[in-house]
Structure formats: structure tokens, C-alpha cells
Homo-oligomer: A and B are copies of this chain.
Amino acid sequence: MKSDFIAIPDGDLCSPLGFEASGVKAGLKKSGNPDIALIHSKSPSSAAALFTKCRFPAAPVQISKKHLAKSRESYRAVVINSGNANACTGKSGLENASEMAKIAARELSCDAGNVLVCSTGRIGVPLPMNLIASGIPAAAAALSRKGGGDACAAIMTTDTFPKRLALSMELSGNKVTLAGMAKGAGMIAPDMKGLHATMICVITSDVAIAPRLLQKLSNEACEESFNRITVDGDTSTNDTVIVLANGMAGNPALKSAGGDSAKFAKALSYLMTELAKQIVLDGEGATKFVSVKVEKAASKKDALLCARTVANSLLCKTAWFGADPNWGRILAAAGRSGAKIKPDSFELYFDHLCAVSGGMASDVPECKLAEILKNDEFTVRIVLNCGDADCEVWTNDISYDYVKINADYHT
């Protein structure tokens, strides 16, 4: 699968042809860290997007949706601020999000309707528009083919490292590049469908592709990537995945499934999965990366229910932090998930070691199981033996630091 595409060392959003980016300090964050990112395409781009399904969608989510409702072509830029979510801010919040697009459009000499807007940070605080009004022009002035790293740094909130990846592939003899950046460490939970998502991710590509197919492939990739992670089970008001494709690679435009589209879809799925895993690795206070695999479930829905309930269980996550095999908690979570379970044929593995067989303790000594849980990364594999549906969800443990970070969070 990976042979269809290769990673670009130190690649970023500007690796695809025609994209430039920047990240500047506008003063929105008390820390003084960069807080405005701008991504610009020299050519009009097709766009696909997925937004949070929280019933309090933030103002930038509402404005971006409005812009996308008119057309899926001719997009030129994404402007993002961190340090303030512009959520639950009423009519003036909507005006402010709209104004962000207008300022960027003026600087970039394009239509405001062709600019998409994202915000991330504290909810319910009015956006300081004086800082935005000077910050966006500064970001526009700083746009550069070398600005991908700065943009990636400017969208971070509680993130401890930037998350980005770029891939290249050949489609009908043309070199096509695909790149993405993401932010997110808390308020992360898998609950996306169609136009729904839970963090901020911007993906750029120089591929030529019909907007409708781009949306379809984005939905599918999201379902198996961002929709499979959870840090704390809390879905955000703001979060957004935006994919821009400007066609500058010059490949024959992708219009329907199969062939080159399948090749591109694989790369897109890989890109989103890697970015999603980076979010989990950077989960607030996390010390361990845990894959929860559910196998032989009665249905896909059951597999997901079971995996997500275990991955979100506070008792499981704190036990993992303590490297305590305490598998009873995993069974208790699976047992309340609503998934069909045959207690007498339930199996549970930590990596390759069997902890539970036939619904009871295996003969593997607890100290052996505990050795696996001391690792930074391990797999909890649940075999339900009720059917043939599988799924995998990625999560982390809950530590003292998670509580510390979240008991006193002011951007």
C-alpha cells in the first residue's frame, strides 16, 4: 500500500505546487506564541470540508459552511486563529468570523466567499478584533513557500508538538503532492459523520480533482482516521477538516472512483490516519498510546460501540496510566457498551499475550501482562466471537497531568 506514495522529508502544507503559508503573533495568546495562520493557493482550489456536529457550532464553522454552500470551487485561502474559539459569541461573533474572511480576501485580492475561517481556543470570549485586524495583514505579508512550519505552529493550543506530513505520488505520469497539518490534544472524541469532525486539520494538494469526489474521498478517509480517535470523549464546538486541491500538478482531473482516484484515496487516508495518531500521541497529559482493536463483533456498529466505550472509560484509562492490567475494567466497559457479547467466549489480549479466554482469566501471570502495560505503546485486542466485524480505535491514558492541564486551562 505504501509503495503507491512516499513521504517527503520535512514536507509541509507548501510542498504541493502553488501553496504558500505563514504564521504570526497577533497577541491573542497570553503566552505570546504565534496565533494567526494563513494558507494561500495561487490558483483557485476545489474544497472539501468536515465540521463538528456539536449543536453549538462556533461562528467560524457557521461562516465557513455558508461560504462552502455556494460553491466548492475557486477557494483561495484558509485563515485560522488560535487563542480564542469565537464560539458562543452570538451575532457579533458571526460578524467577526465574516470580517476575518474579508480582511484576508482584501489582502489576497480575492473574494471573501473564497476564504475559509477556523478558530480554536477558549469558548465564549469575544474575539479582540483590533488584534485580528492587524494580525491578518501581517500574516498575508509573511506568506511564503517556506511558511508551512510557521502556520503549523500558529494553530497549536495545548499541543506540545506540531503535527504535519507530506506525501508524493505519481498519477498518470504526473507528480502529485498531498500535505496536511493538524492541531488538537484535548476536547478530542470520535464523532464525525458527513460534514462533521473534531479538531483542526488543513490539507493541501496540487491534485486536479472534482470537488464532489474530493468531498467523498475526504469523508471516507475521515471515517477511518479522525473518527477513530479519542482523548477525552469531549467533542468540540469548533473543529474542522478542510481539504484544498488546486490542480497545479496537471494530472488528468480525477472525477470518479478507481484507478488514479483509488491511489489518491489511499494516500489521503494514510495522511489523515497519521495526523490523527499524532493527535492521540499528543493527548493532554498522555503517557501511553493505546490501540483498542475489536474483532469478530456482530456488526460494525457493535465493534465501534465496544471499542469507543473501552477507549473512553475513565477506569480503563487510569489503569493504563498505572500499568495495571486490571482487565475487569475492560470487560465492564465492553459489557455496558451495548455491543452483543457472549461472556463465555470473550477473549482479551494485551499485544500478543492472552489475558482473558472464555470470559475468564487466562493462565498468563498478571506480572507478564503488566510488563506490556509498562510500554509507551500497546494494543488492547478484544475478540467478541459474535460475528465478523472489526474496528480499531486509538486513544491514550489519563494521567495526573491531564487533570492538571484541564483544571487550570486558560489559553
Docked pose: A54 CA to B53 CA in angstroms? 29
| Inter-subunit contact A235/B332 (CB<8 Å) | yes
| Inter-subunit contact A324/B235 (CB<8 Å) | no
Docked pose: A54 CA to B359 CA in angstroms? 14
Instruction: Return the chain B residue nearest A332 by Cβ.
Output: B237
Collect the chain B residues with CB atoms within 8 Å of residue A398's CB.
314, 403
Collect the chain B residues with CB atoms within 8 Å of residue A252's CB.
none
Collect the chain B residues with CB atoms within 8 Å of residue A332's CB.
54, 56, 123, 187, 234-237
Segment with Cβ contacts to B, from A73-81, A84-92, A259-267, A387-395: A84-92
| Inter-subunit contact B322/A56 (CB<8 Å) | no
Q: Is A326 an interface residue (CB 8 A)?
A: yes
A:289-329 near B, CB below 8 Å:
312-315, 318-319, 321-322, 324, 326-329
Segment with Cβ contacts to B, from A1-9, A63-71, A169-177, A335-343: A335-343
Docked pose: A53 CA to B90 CA in angstroms? 42
Collect the chain B residues with CB atoms within 8 Å of residue A408's CB.
322, 324
A residues contacting the other copy or chain, number (CB 8 A)? 63
Q: Is A141 an interface residue (CB 8 A)?
A: no
Name the 5 nearest CB pairs between A and B, nearest first.
Answer: A123-B328, A322-B407, A318-B406, A54-B335, A56-B335
28 residue pairs A–B, Cβ–Cβ below 8 Å: A56-B334, A56-B341, A88-B328, A88-B343, A88-B356, A88-B359, A89-B360, A90-B359, A90-B360, A123-B326, A123-B328, A123-B329, A123-B331, A124-B328, A187-B329, A189-B336, A233-B314, A234-B332, A237-B335, A314-B402, A321-B403, A322-B406, A322-B407, A324-B407, A324-B409, A398-B403, A400-B403, A400-B404
